[in-house]
Amino acid sequence: RIAYVNGRYLPHAEAGVSIDDRGFQFADSVYEVCEIIGGKLVDERRHMARLQRSLDLLNMARPLTERALAVVMRETIRRNRVVNGVVYVQVSRGAIRRDFPFPPEGTPPTLVVTARSNDLSKIEARADKGIAVVTVPDERWRHVDIKSVSLLPNVLAKQAARDKGAQEAWLVDAKGYVTEGASSSAWIVTRDGVLVTRPLAGEILPGVTRSVVLDLVAEQGLGFEERAFTVEEAYAAREAFITSASQSVMPVTQIDGRPVGNGAPGLVARGLRRDYHSKAEFT
Ligand code: PLP
């Protein structure tokens, strides 16, 4: 596998960043993950807009213009011969003698781009069965709307899920409401057939897949409420699913060991999964 690191394409074994990198030292770093289907980037514009937003909110410089980054992403995809998979982009505030405040203006940011293939048939098999989620307390910091690599709470949540044989963790706020998944947006469909997902009020990451699904929901005239839902409501839901760039719409068939609805992927989730790529933008 070949990675792009600050202007060079190198085999992963030789690619690296400095031990002084602020991404390594302080998690002073942001990232994006974009799906690749048939060699094309999916929803690139929305991912690049969110990257810019993350950079702006942290006052971090762009390592490359958007156009140059688009070229680097494609070159990384090409060199890794990825047809279906994901491209990963990480930008840190650069490498410099360890000191908490921002480095002097002009310190070059670090840019890493990698790409890897995904086995679509495995993801489809997963979607046919649906995944299990467990709920855990949301222990993250307040700026979760920024896609930063400060992901230790997400790591612990995912491990808690794995320890229980589940594939995702749903994070729950102090009032008992689900915020989102450890690496996905969380959705339910109520017994009345209404789709529910949490509003973007700072407590969740503005998911790109979420935003495309919202366009699809509006287009199809599906019943929808943008509001927080509790764990109890999720237990009683007819359907549940998650959305993320790497899995698009993934049905959830078990929450904390209880079957969701009849325990099989729901009609709404399956329909949205089927239609997702008709609404997504390929570039
Ligand atoms: N929420 C969190 C915390 C995430 O890490 C992710 C993606 O990794 C998402 C939501 C889904 O976002 P997207 O649909 O843009 O991949």
Atom of ligand 1 nearest to the CA of 204: 1
Residue 265: band (very low, low, confident or very high) from pLDDT cuts 50, 70, 90: very high
Residue 58: band (very low, low, confident or very high) from pLDDT cuts 50, 70, 90: very high
Average pLDDT over residues 124-151: 98
Average pLDDT over residues 34-52: 98
Whether residue 65 has pLDDT greater than 90: yes
Regarding the beta carbon of 183 and ligand 1, being less than 6 Å apart is answered yes
For residue 19, report the distance from its CA to the centre of ligand 1, in Å: 28
pLDDT tens digits, 24-41? 999 999 999 999 999 999
Question: pTM for the full model?
Answer: 0.97
Regarding the beta carbon of 148 and ligand 1, being less than 6 Å apart is answered no
Q: What is the DSSP letter of 272?
A: H
For residue 202, report the distance from its CA to the centre of ligand 1, in Å: 14
Domains delineated in the chain: 2-118 (3.30.470.10), 123-279 (3.20.10.10)
Atom of ligand 1 nearest to the CA of 245: 16
Neighbour-count burial of 121, counting CB atoms closer than 10 A to its CB (0-12 exposed, 13-18 middle, 19+ buried): exposed
Residue 230: predicted pLDDT:
98
For residue 77, report the distance from its CA to the centre of ligand 1, in Å: 21
Average pLDDT over residues 99-116: 97
Distances (CA, A) of 192 to 51, 100, 115, 230, 238: 37, 51, 41, 16, 8
Q: What is the mean pLDDT of the chain?
A: 97
Percent of the chain with pLDDT over 70: 100
Residue 5: predicted pLDDT:
98
For residue 186, report the distance from its CA to the centre of ligand 1, in Å: 10
Exactly one of 147, 164, 175, 279 is catalytic; name it: 147
Residue 66: predicted pLDDT:
96
Regarding the beta carbon of 185 and ligand 1, being less than 6 Å apart is answered yes
Nearest to 129 by CA among 253, 236, 261, 248: 253
Residue 272: predicted pLDDT:
98
Whether residue 202 has pLDDT greater than 90: no
Regarding the beta carbon of 180 and ligand 1, being less than 6 Å apart is answered yes
* Residues 146 and 58 sit within 8 Å (Cβ to Cβ): yes
Query: Which structure tokens are listed for 92?
Result: 């840190």
Regarding the beta carbon of 167 and ligand 1, being less than 6 Å apart is answered no
The complex scores an ipTM of 0.99
Distance CA 127, CA 131 (A): 7
